[in-house]
Structure 1
Amino acid sequence: MLTQIINGQILTPQGWLKDGSVLVSDGKILEVTNSDLAVIGAKVIDAKGMYIVPGFVAMNVHGGGGHDFKECTEEAFRTAVAAHLKHGATTIFPTLSASPKESICKAVSICEGLMAEKNSTVLGLHVEGPYLNTKMAGSLYDVKDPDKEEYTSILESTGCIKRWDASPELPGAHDFARYLRSKGILAAITHTEAEFGDIKAAYAAGFTHAAQFYNAMPGFHKRREYKYEGTVESVFLMDDMTVEVIADGKHLPSTILRLVYKLKGVERTCLVTDALSYAASDIKPDEDSRIIIEDGVCKLADHSSLAGSIATMDVLVRTMVQKANIPLADAIRMASETPARLMGVADRTGTLQRGKDADIIIMDRNLAVRAVWSLGHLVPDANTLY
């Protein structure tokens, strides 16, 4: 069936298009035109003057809807993915936090099954750890140095892992990054104490992305009477190194979000939720849990650290626009186009262009999601318009 979305401001790679339309057929974008004249035989969707933008690409998300991907069950994966889809995440790379090999393999099996399904929004798996600096692990546990036998055996058996994060200063981390690069997998630094020399060497080895930038890594600091650059300043100095920020308005203040945008730019900055199971859910942590929800964010119960967000992708866009004063087009691109490119799926999603998947969102003037199409299918309960 041919669908025509009209009467909205359409975000294209060339900028905003007014009074145009998006034609959708068989799950693909047939055309983005500068005319909103009705096409014969098409089902016409009136966007009512709202924003028509590409679906979001969630590249760092641990769970939602009351389930965590670390549960390693099909129910957990399906529930969490569906919860974020309703908020515009039309492409998702489930994140598995520090886990033993057995759990990684279970997650791989589930992910492969979902990826094989028709119209799947899951395009790969993201693994965080367990190769992490114990001093910087925060709420994560069971961390260790890179184990070559372990990661090679996993990656030789599957192609579904698209990103893997580690602390670059650990013994064997550079070999790990080189191996990931040989497989076309995005290698990211995280939970690290690395300074400039470490970051420069890590980048050369293949660590080209900085996860949850500013969080779980030091900035400018002193040791005795001397001052040293932190991971943050070191990443800024690596011009081609990409970053992601948890733009929930809690993990980073709006001034820092603006600074990252100013220094790294749209094409090297991604917006991520780092969401836990409590996102898009009414479920709260148990009374004896290590994690509490307070001030709209997840924290360790002893208040020593943040532990993750309860944000969805649409929250990130609103934060960047309404609190950090970032242009809407740039905020959308950092939630769609840039992560799609970094995760290797820009050929099929991330922008509204002919031939790409019909992953489309309508947002109102307050930047609330009013409708979501995933591969041309209207997502139930994700809208109030249709």
Structure 2
Amino acid sequence: MLTQIINGHILTPQGWLKDGSVLVDDGKILEVTNSDLAVIGAKAIDAKGMYIVPGFISMHSHGGGGYDFTDATPEAFQAIVQAHLKHGATSIFPTLSSTTFDVLRQAVAVCDELMQKPDSVVMGLHIEGPYLNKKMAGTQWGDFLKDPDPEEYIPLLESTQCIKRWDISPELPGAHDFARFTSGRGILTAITHTEAEYPEIKSAFEAGFTHAAHFYNAMPGFHKRREYKYEGTVESVYLMDNMTVEVIADGVHLPATILKLVYKLKGVEKTCLVTDALKYAAYNGRTIDDSRYVIEDGVCKLADHQTLAGSIASMDKLVQTMVKSAGIPLADAVRMASETPAAVIGVADRKGTLQKGKDADIVILDKDVNVRCVFSYGKMVEGTNTLIH
């Protein structure tokens, strides 16, 4: 159906466009124009002076809606996707936490199937672990953690094209060989759960580790050993000019001051916003039933209150936090949730900006940065039509 979205502030790659329109048909953006004259035959959607922005790219999310992606079933994948889609995540890379390779293979099969469906929101799979530094990985995954084993990961990667990102600790034996193999296949390879210092980060970057997962979390900063001081992983990543980062901008994992610092030093083009969401994100069902965890202060913690376990945020919450708490301009906050992750994970030819020929993934935000309407491939997502009704 030919649709024309009018009367809003449109975020384009060149900046805000006022009083223009976005013309959509057959799941694609036909045109973004500075004219709001009615197009004959088009259904008009009045944005009522709100913000018209590109759909968000969720490139690190473990679950939502009461399900976890390691459930590895179509039902779980679809429930999580629908939960986050209502909050503006129009492209999702399901994240699998450390688990067995049998579960990884089951999830790959589900992901392959969903990616073949027309207008799929699932864009590829993201694996975190099981190749993690045990000292930096907490207690959640202890039974699964190991060093990289090419006899495991090479057959898996050669069996599918759906794996688009894989995060491991770069200091492990065999990690650099892993990165050379994965990055050589076009897979975004990220450092995570690490205590690496500058020489290791530099050599890891050269081997293919080009991204830092949940920056600042599960990695040390500047520290001291005996009488000498050393840079941490955080400072080392800052020194890698071309290494991209992601931040969990839920307002709890990182304070607003650190979010401002990342924005200032890494910039919009090198910073992605991620939820790192667990199964209790975007979920109104029963309360948490796992004795290992508690939900408190808007985040999931280990029950002993010694560390954070993961967020319960959705993508819209990240944008709100960056704007309202960190004081980042809305355009830049949206770009870090859409344009930058699309470029980093390799879908910028289809996603991330409102431009002619790209998929019609569109979010309308009100003045308080609340989601009022979501379009996925030009179709309004059920339950997000508060703009119209």
Deviations 1:280-316 (A, max 9, x none): 1123554552111011000000111100000000000
The residue type equivalent to 1:119 in the other structure is D
Partner in structure 2 of residue 203 of structure 1: 205
Q: 5+ residue gaps in structure 2?
A: none
Partner in structure 2 of residue 19 of structure 1: 19
Partner in structure 2 of residue 160 of structure 1: 162
Contact 2:74 2:110 in 1 (8 A): yes
The residue type equivalent to 1:252 in the other structure is L
Partner in structure 2 of residue 275 of structure 1: 277
Contact 1:285 1:292 in 2 (8 A): no
Aligned residue for 1:159, secondary structure, equals coil
174, 186, 189: which is aligned to 1:187? 189
Aligned-pair CA distance for 1:383 = 3.2
Contact 1:4 1:45 in 2 (8 A): yes
Deviations 1:80-131 (A, max 9, x none): 0100000000000000000111010000000000000001100100000000
Which structure 2 residues correspond to residues 64-213 of structure 1 after superposition, within 5 A? 64-138=64-138, 139-141=140-142, 142-213=144-215
Aligned-pair CA distance for 1:73 = 1.0
Q: For 1:366 and 1:286, how far apart are their aligned partners in 2? A: 29
Contact 2:288 2:295 in 1 (8 A): no
Q: For 1:199 and 1:347, how far apart are their aligned partners in 2? A: 30
Q: For 2:3 and 2:293, how far apart are their aligned partners in 1? A: 45
- How many percent identity over aligned positions? 72
Deviations 1:176-215 (A, max 9, x none): 0000011000000000000001100100000000000000
- Distance of aligned partners of 1:8 and 1:226 in 2 relative to their CA distance in 1, 3 Å threshold: same
Q: For 1:323 and 1:119, how far apart are their aligned partners in 2? A: 35
Partner in structure 2 of residue 248 of structure 1: 250
Q: 5+ residue gaps in structure 1?
A: none
- Distance of aligned partners of 1:213 and 1:67 in 2 relative to their CA distance in 1, 3 Å threshold: same
Aligned-pair CA distance for 1:156 = 0.5
Partner in structure 2 of residue 353 of structure 1: 355
The residue type equivalent to 1:13 in the other structure is P
- Please state if 1:59 is matched with 2:29: no
Aligned-pair CA distance for 1:278 = 0.2
Q: For 1:42 and 1:286, how far apart are their aligned partners in 2? A: 46
Contact 2:99 2:141 in 1 (8 A): no
Q: For 1:55 and 1:156, how far apart are their aligned partners in 2? A: 31
The residue type equivalent to 1:55 in the other structure is G
Q: For 1:25 and 1:287, how far apart are their aligned partners in 2? A: 45
Q: For 1:227 and 1:270, how far apart are their aligned partners in 2? A: 30
Q: For 1:200 and 1:341, how far apart are their aligned partners in 2? A: 22
Q: For 1:217 and 1:140, how far apart are their aligned partners in 2? A: 17
Report which stretch shifted further, 190-199 or 131-140. Answer: 131-140
Deviations 1:329-348 (A, max 9, x none): 00000000000011110000
Contact 1:23 1:30 in 2 (8 A): yes
Partner in structure 2 of residue 372 of structure 1: 374
Contact 1:162 1:185 in 2 (8 A): yes
Equivalent pairs counted in the alignment come to 386
The residue type equivalent to 2:271 in the other structure is T
Contact 1:255 1:324 in 2 (8 A): yes
The residue type equivalent to 2:29 in the other structure is I
Partner in structure 2 of residue 30 of structure 1: 30
**RMSD across aligned positions (CA):** 0.8
Partner in structure 2 of residue 45 of structure 1: 45
Q: For 2:328 and 2:311, how far apart are their aligned partners in 1? A: 21
Contact 1:124 1:162 in 2 (8 A): yes
Aligned-pair CA distance for 1:349 = 0.7
Q: For 2:64 and 2:134, how far apart are their aligned partners in 1? A: 26
Aligned residue for 2:202, secondary structure, equals helix
